[in-house]
C-alpha cells in the first residue's frame, strides 16, 4: 500500500504542492516577522516542499535537510514554521489521496495515516532536533559567558584586589563569588580585598548574608575584606532589615575603600615632586602669557 | 602520631602536614599547651596550608587551642587556611571568631610581631 | 562500574578513612576542589555522629544519575538508638556531646539535598546528596 500512496503523491506533486502553498499562505504572520519579503517567503516555501518530496522519494536525505534547517535558524525563523508546514502537508496529502481513492474502508484509512506519518515523522524529528540543538548550544555558550562575567577578580596592586559585582546575586552566583574570591586571595597573596557592590541593584537579607559569609571566609584565609559602593538606599535597607555589617569595614565609594586598603597595607598616595614641579611650571607659563 | 612543634626564639611554629584524626588533634592540644608552659613562648603560628579538611570537631579543637593558649599568655595565629576549607567552615556554621589569621607563615609571623608590639 | 561502596565505622580512624574515600569519589565524578572539601567534611561529620552516638554504623556512597543531573549521595546507616527529636538535632548549636553543635545542620548546608529517617531503637538513615554543577 505504501508504494501506491507514494506513487499517487509523486505523480500529483504539482497539485499537492499548490494546495500546500495555498494553505501555508494563510498561516502567514504567525510564524515569521513582517520583515520577511514575499520573495524570500515563496522561495523558502518552495525549498521546504521540495525537501519534503525528495525526502519521500529517496526516503530521507539528511544533508539537504540539515542545510535547510541551518538556513532557517540563521534567518531566525520559528520552529512552528516547520511543524505547521509538515502538519499542513499531512492534511493536504491525506485529503488528496482520499479524494483519489474509490473504495475507502477503515483499514485503508488506517494504512494511509500510517504511511503519511512515516514520511513526515523523521522530518519533524530531525528539524526539531536541529533547532533545539541550536538553542541548547546557545544556552550553554551564554552560561559560560555569564560565569566568566559573574565574579571577576582584579589584582590592582601588590596585596590589594578588587572584585566588582554587577547585577543580581542569587545563591548559585554567591557561591561562585565566594570561591573565586578565596582562590584569588590566596593566588594573588592579597591582604585586602575590596568588594564593590555599586552595580548590585538590590541588597536583601539573602544577598547581605552571602556577602557577610564571603567576608568571613576571606577573614579565615587571613585577609581583610572591605565592602565598598554602598548607596544610600542600600544602607537604609541593610539597617531596616536589621543586618549587622559591623564586623567588617564598609566604605561608600571604591576610592575611599582603596585609600583605606592602602592604609591597611602601610601605604599611601603621594604626589611626586616632579609632577608638582611641572604643574607649577605650567601655571607659571600660563601666567606669563 | 604526633605533630612536631618547633621553637623559634619566643615563638612556636607548627605546620600540620598530615590528615588529622580526633586523637591526633587532642594530643596536639595537650602537647602545645605543655610546650607553651615549658618555654614561656609568647606567640604561636599554626600553619594549615597542607590541611585539606577541617570538620566541626577539628575546628572546635583549634578554636579551643587558641583560647587556651591566650589564657596562658601566648597569642596564636592560624595561617594558610585553604579556600576550600574556609568555604566549608562557613557552610558548617563554624566562624572561628576572634581567631587571628594570616595568609601564610611569613605574614603570620609579621602579624604576631605587630600584635605583641615588639 | 562500581556504583556503591561503603566504609564501616567502628573506630575513630574509620572517620578519616570514610572522608578520604568520600573525597576520592567526589574527585572521581568531577567535583571541583571546594565541593570535594564540602563533601569530605559532610562525610566526616556523619561518620563522627555514627561513632559518637550509634557506636557503629556505615557510610555508603552512591553515584546518583538522573535525567538532567548527576551527583554523589552519601548515606549514613546505623542500628543505634535512633534520634528522639529530629527537629531538635537540626537546630544550630544543639549538642549532646559537648561539640560545636554544627554537625547535622552543618551537613545540611554543605549538601544540596538532605533526608533523615530515624526510629527509636531501630536506627537512623541519612541521605545527603550534592549535585554536580
What is the tens place of the pLDDT at every residue in C103-129?
A: 788 898 899 999 988 888 888 899 999
Residue A180 has pLDDT above 90, yes or no: no
B20 or A245: which leads in pLDDT: B20
First-to-last alpha carbon distance for chain B, in angstroms, is 35
Q: Which of A190, A191, A216 has its CB closest to that of B90?
A: A216
Residue B68 has pLDDT above 50, yes or no: yes
Residue of A nearest to B59 (CA): A220
Give the number of beta-carbon pairs within 8 Å between A and C: 3
A32 or C72: which leads in pLDDT: C72
Say if A236 is an interface residue toward chain B (CB within 8 Å): no
Give the model's pLDDT for residue A33: 56
Residue A172: list chain C partners with CB under 8 A: 133
Mean pLDDT of A30-47: 73
B65 and B32 Cβ atoms separated by less than 8 Å = yes
Residue A229 has pLDDT above 50, yes or no: yes
Say if B88 is an interface residue toward chain C (CB within 8 Å): yes
Give the model's pLDDT for residue A32: 58
Task: Categorize the per-residue pLDDT at C1 as very low, low, confident or very high, splitting at 50, 70 and 90.
Answer: very low
Residue C23: list chain B partners with CB under 8 A: 52-53
Mean pLDDT of B3-28: 90
Helices (H) and strands (E) in chain B, counts: 4, 5
Is B8 part of a structural domain of the chain? no
* b/e map A106-133, b = 16+ CB within 10 Å: eeeeeebeebbeebbeebbebbeebbee
Q: What is the DSSP letter of B10?
A: T
The domain containing residue B55 runs over which residues? 16-116
A37 or A289: which leads in pLDDT: A37
A3 or B110: which leads in pLDDT: B110
Residue C101 has pLDDT above 80, yes or no: no
E-state strands within C90-133: 113-119, 123-131
**Start-end ranges of CATH 3.30.750.24 in chain A?**
154-273
Q: Which of B21, B87, B94 has its CB closest to that of C100?
A: B94
CATH classification (class only), C4-131? alpha beta
B109 or A240: which leads in pLDDT: B109
Residue A63 has pLDDT above 80, yes or no: no
Mean pLDDT of A183-187: 89
Say if C34 is an interface residue toward chain A (CB within 8 Å): yes
Reported for C66-73, long-range contacts at CB under 8 A and 24+ positions apart, including other chains, are: C69/C131, C69/C132, C70/C29, C70/C131, C70/C132, C71/C112, C71/C129, C71/C130, C71/C131, C71/C132, C72/C25, C72/C26, C72/C29, C72/C31, C72/C39, C72/C129, C72/C130, C72/C132, C73/C127, C73/C128, C73/C129
B11-15 and B43-47 as β-strands: parallel, antiparallel, unpaired? parallel
Helix (H, G, I), strand (E, B) or coil at A183: helix
Q: How many domains does chain B fold into?
A: 1
Per the structure block, which three cell numbers stand in for A245?
555589617
Mean pLDDT of B44-55: 92
Mean pLDDT of A79-97: 85
Task: Categorize the per-residue pLDDT at C96 as very low, low, confident or very high, splitting at 50, 70 and 90.
Answer: low
Residue of C nearest to A147 (CA): C133
Is B5 part of a structural domain of the chain? no
Say if B96 is an interface residue toward chain C (CB within 8 Å): no
**Among 3.30.750.24, 3.90.1150.10, 1.10.10.10, 3.60.15.10, what is the CATH number of A154-273?**
3.30.750.24
CATH architecture group of domain A2-147:
Orthogonal Bundle (1.10)
**Start-end ranges of CATH 1.10.490.10 in chain A?**
2-147
In chain C, domain spans: 4-131
Q: Tell me the CATH number at B70.
A: 3.30.750.24
Is B9 part of a structural domain of the chain? no
**A interface test, pick of C41, C111, C133 with most A CB neighbours within 10 Å:** C133
Mean pLDDT of A91-119: 84
Residue C133: list chain A partners with CB under 8 A: 172
- Residue A67 has phi, psi (to 5 degrees) of -60, -40
Mean pLDDT of C76-96: 79
Say if B85 is an interface residue toward chain C (CB within 8 Å): yes
Give the model's pLDDT for residue B97: 80
B84 or A233: which leads in pLDDT: B84
Is B11 part of a structural domain of the chain? no
ipTM topping 0.90: no
Give the model's pLDDT for residue C84: 78
**Could you read off the pLDDT of A155-165 as tens digits, one per residue?**
888 889 999 99
Say if C37 is an interface residue toward chain B (CB within 8 Å): yes
Mean pLDDT of A79-104: 83
Residue A241 has pLDDT above 60, yes or no: yes
Task: Categorize the per-residue pLDDT at C85 as very low, low, confident or very high, splitting at 50, 70 and 90.
Answer: confident
Per the structure block, which three cell numbers stand in for C91?
537546630
Amino acid at each position: 500500500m505504501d508504494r501506491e500512496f507514494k506513487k499517487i503523491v509523486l505523480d500529483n506533486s504539482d497539485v499537492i504542492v499548490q494546495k500546500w502553498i495555498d494553505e501555508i499562505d494563510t498561516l502567514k504572520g504567525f510564524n515569521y516577522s513582517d520583515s520577511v519579503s514575499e520573495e524570500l517567503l515563496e522561495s523558502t516555501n518552495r525549498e521546504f516542499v521540495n525537501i519534503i518530496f525528495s525526502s519521500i522519494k529517496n526516503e530521507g536525505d539528511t544533508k539537504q535537510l540539515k542545510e535547510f534547517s541551518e538556513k532557517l535558524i540563521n534567518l531566525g525563523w520559528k520552529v512552528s514554521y516547520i511543524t505547521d508546514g509538515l502538519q499542513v502537508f499531512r492534511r493536504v496529502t491525506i485529503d488528496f489521496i482520499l479524494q483519489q481513492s474509490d473504495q475507502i474502508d477503515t483499514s485503508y484509512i488506517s494504512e494511509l495515516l500510517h504511511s503519511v506519518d512515516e514520511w513526515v515523522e523523521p522530518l519533524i524529528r530531525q528539524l526539531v532536533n536541529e533547532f533545539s540543538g541550536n538553542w541548547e548550544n546557545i544556552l550553554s555558550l551564554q552560561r559560560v559567558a555569564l560565569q566568566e562575567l559573574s565574579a571577576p577578580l582584579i589584582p590592582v596592586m601588590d596585596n590589594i584586589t578588587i572584585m566588582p559585582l554587577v547585577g543580581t546575586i542569587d545563591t548559585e552566583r554567591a557561591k561562585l563569588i565566594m570561591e573565586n574570591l578565596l582562590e584569588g586571595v590566596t593566588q594573588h597573596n592579597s591582604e585586602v580585598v575590596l568588594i564593590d557592590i555599586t552595580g548590585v541593584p538590590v541588597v536583601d537579607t539573602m544577598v547581605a548574608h552571602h556577602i557577610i559569609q564571603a567576608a568571613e571566609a576571606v577573614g579565615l584565609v587571613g585577609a581583610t575584606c572591605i565592602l565598598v559602593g554602598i548607596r544610600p538606599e542600600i544602607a537604609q535597607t541593610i539597617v531596616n532589615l536589621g543586618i549587622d555589617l559591623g564586623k567588617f569595614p564598609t566604605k561608600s565609594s571604591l576610592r575611599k575603600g582603596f585609600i583605606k586598603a592602602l592604609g591597611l597595607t602601610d601605604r599611601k598616595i603621594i604626589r611626586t615632586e616632579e609632577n608638582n614641579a611641572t604643574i607649577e611650571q605650567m601655571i607659571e607659563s600660563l601666567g606669563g602669557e | 602520631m604526633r605533630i612536631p612543634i618547633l621553637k623559634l626564639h619566643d615563638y612556636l611554629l607548627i605546620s600540620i602536614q598530615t590528615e588529622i584524626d580526633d586523637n591526633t588533634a587532642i594530643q596536639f592540644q595537650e602537647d602545645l599547651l605543655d610546650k607553651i608552659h615549658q618555654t614561656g613562648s609568647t606567640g604561636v603560628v599554626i600553619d594549615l596550608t597542607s590541611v585539606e579538611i577541617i570538620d566541626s570537631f577539628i575546628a572546635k579543637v583549634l578554636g579551643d587551642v587558641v583560647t587556651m593558649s591566650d589564657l596562658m599568655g601566648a597569642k596564636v595565629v592560624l595561617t594558610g587556611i585553604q579556600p576550600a576549607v574556609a568555604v566549608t567552615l562557613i557552610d558548617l556554621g563554624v566562624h572561628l571568631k576572634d581567631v587571628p589569621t594570616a595568609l601564610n607563615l611569613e605574614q603570620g609571623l609579621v602579624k604576631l610581631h605587630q600584635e605583641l608590639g615588639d | 562500574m562500581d556504583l556503591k561502596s561503603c566504609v564501616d565505622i567502628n573506630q575513630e580512624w574509620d572517620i578519616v578513612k570514610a572522608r578520604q574515600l568520600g573525597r576520592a569519589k567526589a574527585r572521581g565524578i568531577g567535583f571541583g576542589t571546594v565541593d570535594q572539601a564540602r563533601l569530605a567534611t559532610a562525610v566526616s561529620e556523619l561518620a563522627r555522629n555514627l561513632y559518637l552516638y550509634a557506636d557503629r554504623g556505615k557510610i555508603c556512597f552512591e553515584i546518583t544519575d538522573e535525567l538532567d543531573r548527576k551527583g554523589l549521595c552519601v548515606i549514613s546507616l546505623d542500628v543505634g538508638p535512633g534520634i528522639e527529636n529530629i527537629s531538635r538535632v537540626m537546630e544550630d548549636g544543639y549538642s549532646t556531646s559537648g561539640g560545636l553543635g554544627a554537625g547535622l545542620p552543618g551537613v545540611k548546608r554543605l549538601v544540596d539535598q538532605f533526608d533523615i529517617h530515624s526510629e527509636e531503637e531501630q536506627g537512623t538513615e541519612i541521605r545527603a546528596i550534592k549535585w554536580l554543577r
